[in-house]
Amino acid sequence: MTQTPHISVKDLNVHISGNHLLKNININIPDKSVTSIIGPSGCGKTTLLKSLNRLLDDIPEVNISGSVLVDGEDIYGPKTEVTHIRKKMGLLAQRPFPLPMSIYDNIAYGPRIHGLKNKKELNVLVEHYLQAVGLWEEVKHRLHTSASALSIGQQQRLCLARGLAVEPEIILGDESTSALDPISTKTIEDLLIKLKENYTIVLVTHILRQARRVSDFIVFVYMGEIIEFGPTEEVLLNPKEALTKDYVKGFIS
Ligand SMILES: Nc1ncnc2c1ncn2[C@@H]1O[C@H](COP(=O)(O)OP(=O)(O)O)[C@@H](O)[C@H]1O
Ligand SMILES: [Mg+2]
């Protein structure tokens, strides 16, 4: 592997209410590429993704040990600020959650919070990020209408644009196309493939075809453990571990 790791997970263990949900996770997630976490339902994919963004912190009864280094900084270190970590990462959820405001204000929201007030500069940013997700032509005549009137596929692209507008380095996606029709799914997949030139992308998916289409690397998780990690073609077409073979052939679901 030639890429430098952007995220390094070291001896990560997560317990929730006494259940050992992630077991001795060690992985280096490469910079400027798409890494997909695959595995059967309930194996810990979402928990692993959330651990990268400290989104598990809010769960009562959670116990996390080990470290997650992002750009060499341990996000679980005693001096690390959660807001600083979260600013580096954009999260695309299973369903789009546009803010209850206009299309324009959804994109301008983050930059405004970070102090940008100049209207011309905001206009430029809004157009830029809507262009980046291929929405500009579709919405340029209705920027000041409610985002909730957009189709679900458009809403998901808007949420992606809203996340990009706060200039993250990393995009995390948790089954982010599961609510979308096939055409919108393809649009999001193509966007992610394009965005990896500039971002490190970590996705959770249980759709193997999707994992194959979009990922450079695959992590196969089973019952809270990483069974196999490697280049997409290797893990999906020529897996080393018997459990991975069974999963990709459809014996474990
Ligand atoms: N907040 C929580 N409290 C208790 N158990 C949880 C919580 N979140 C997840 N789990 C449990 O952890 C396991 C892994 O969940 P999850 O990471 O969501 O799996 P996946 O995304 O692979 O379907 C499941 O058994 C789930 O029930
Ligand atoms: Mg999940």
Check: pTM over 0.85? Answer yes or no: yes
What's residue 86's pLDDT? 86
Give the closest residue (by CA) to ligand 1 atom 25. Answer: 42
Domain count across the chain? 1
CA dihedral 47, 50, 55, 60 (to 10 degrees): 10
Q: What is the pLDDT of residues 148-171, one digit of tens each?
A: 999 999 999 999 999 999 999 999
Whole-number Cα distances in Å, 3 to 29, 30, 232:
9, 6, 15
What's residue 3's pLDDT? 66
224 CA from centroid of ligand 2 (Å) = 12
| Domain assignment present for 252 | no
What's residue 2's pLDDT? 54
What's residue 252's pLDDT? 76
249/253 Cα distance (integer angstroms)? 10
Q: Which residues contact 119 (CB under 8 A, 6 or more apart)?
A: none
137 CA from centroid of ligand 2 (Å) = 33
* Mean pLDDT, the chain, whole residue set: 95
CATH of residue 89: 3.40.50.300
Ligand sitting nearest the alpha carbon of 176: 2
**Mean pLDDT throughout 3-27?**
94
Of 12, 14, 16, the one to substitute when testing ligand 1's pocket (max ligand atoms within 8 A of C-beta) is 16
Phi, psi dihedrals of residue 30, rounded to the nearest 5°: -70, 150
**Contact predicate 163/90, CB 8 Å:** yes
**Mean pLDDT throughout 4-8?**
89
**More confident site: 85 or 65:** 65
Of 21, 222, 227, the one to substitute when testing ligand 1's pocket (max ligand atoms within 8 A of C-beta) is 21
| Domain assignment present for 253 | no
What's residue 122's pLDDT? 98
Which residues constitute the domain of residue 155? 3-247
**Contact predicate 168/53, CB 8 Å:** no
| Of 2-6, 133-137, 205-209, minimum mean pLDDT range | 2-6
Q: Is the predicted pLDDT of residue 253 greater than 70, yes or no?
A: no
Nearest to 43 by CA among 232, 230, 177, 228: 228
**Mean pLDDT throughout 44-61?**
95
Question: From the alpha carbon of 224, which atom of ligand 1 is closest?
Answer: 14
